Amino acid sequence: MRKRVTLKQLAAELNLSISTVSKSLKNDPEISQETIERVKKLAKEKNYRPNALAVSLKSSKTMSIGVIVPDILNNFFAKVLLGIEKEATKNNYKIVTCISSESYQKELDYLDMLSYNGVDGFILAASQESQTKDLFEHFNDILKDDIPIVMFDRVVEDVYCDKVIVNDKQSSEDAIDKLVASGCKKIGIVSNIQKLSVGLERLEGAEKALAKYGMTTEILKLKKKDEFEDQISKFIEEYNFDAILGLDETSAVSAINAAQILDKKIPNDIQIIGFTDGILSKHSYPKLTTISQNASKMGEEAARILIDKLELRAERYLPETKVIKTKIIERGTTK
């Protein structure tokens, strides 16, 4: 069994003091070239690496970012995580990932734990519970401790921090525009995320666009307990839609299946557009036309903003809100 080597041990073996060894490793000009080389040689031999804990304790910087996501099974969040990871790694930061499972309590616990574990900053999306119950003081508490937070996607209006969002409202307007342009007369909205800030935004955009064309907004809010396909096929039959806008990926894909059940041809009898360019969109039949939120880019952006803030600590600056542009990816469910 190997033993991790410390400065102390190197010093002993070299007959030098700990400080000399430490300085040598940092190429301190105070130390003679000869000594530096001697030290480095042994350090390399023994595979010396500074104990990150000790360094952090001293410098009160851990080079780590706490990331809290509501649901890791959600492809969107997974992608964002990937983006964060990429950018963080590039800048020598590591990430500590926690999953709030949409629970306020877990979110709070993690915030607390991570802050006492010394993460340098947070990147997070609020849990559903925090959003619906309008709980956000726990975020402010962290900010008060001077630990920066960057929120993404599920942001909280009342928390004064950096944010990265997507122009959800505009996107669903665009989607409706597109559907109308291709001849749709009766468009239905299906949502499985009624309670989320993003769900509201998207709905608002759709309503606005629909109104513009003198169309009424018919929305189906999916109920967890029943089969989505059944709920949607009834909805389609009732109104005889020629297009469906799914406010999230699951709704849209379920709408595809519902259309199949009703034996409607996609995209001829009915067109479908969804949100979130996840794994489902690419594996449905036909493949789903969807609004991509550039999840990975969102993550990168969030990490970049946080790291900038961390490194440029010197100057206080105002929180910014970065809007990531969506793009519509046309596949088989639209004409």
The contact set with DNA (CB under 7 A) reads 6-8, 15-20, 22-23, 25-26, 30-35, 48-51, 54-55, 57-60
Site for its own copies in 285-304 (CB under 8 A): 285
Judged by beta carbon, residue 52 or residue 211, the one nearer DNA is 52
Judged by beta carbon, residue 59 or residue 268, the one nearer DNA is 59
CB 304 within 8 A of CB 170: no
Of 296, 183, 292, give the one whose Cα is nearest residue 242.
Answer: 183
Enumerate residues 6+ apart whose C-beta is below 8 A from 227.
Answer: none
Of 137, 70, 130, 131, give the one whose Cα is nearest residue 102.
Answer: 70
* Cross-strand bridge partners of residue 219: 189
Of 331, 185, 325, give the one whose Cα is nearest residue 249.
Answer: 331
Residue 279 touches which member of its own copies, DNA, none, C-beta under 5-8 Å by kind: its own copies
CB 143 within 8 A of CB 259: no
Enumerate residues 6+ apart whose C-beta is below 8 A from 46.
Answer: 5, 9, 10
Residue 103 touches which member of its own copies, DNA, none, C-beta under 5-8 Å by kind: none
Binding string to its own copies for residues 212 to 231, with x set by CB under 8 A, is what? --------------------
Judged by beta carbon, residue 2 or residue 134, the one nearer its own copies is 2
**SS3 of the chain: helix, strand, coil, percent, to 5:** 45, 15, 35
Site membership for its own copies, residue 113 (CB under 8 A)? yes
CB 313 within 8 A of CB 282: no
Residue 2 touches which member of its own copies, DNA, none, C-beta under 5-8 Å by kind: its own copies
Longest C-alpha distance within the chain, in Å? 87
Judged by beta carbon, residue 75 or residue 132, the one nearer its own copies is 75
Site for its own copies in 234-273 (CB under 8 A): 250, 253-254, 256-257, 260-261
Residue 94 touches which member of DNA, its own copies, none, C-beta under 5-8 Å by kind: its own copies
Residue 7 touches which member of DNA, its own copies, none, C-beta under 5-8 Å by kind: DNA
* Cross-strand bridge partners of residue 292: 327
Binding residues for its own copies, rule: CB under 8 A, are 1-4, 49-54, 56-57, 62, 64, 72-73, 75, 78-79, 81-82, 85, 94-99, 112-114, 116-118, 144-146, 250, 253-254, 256-257, 260-261, 279-280, 283-285
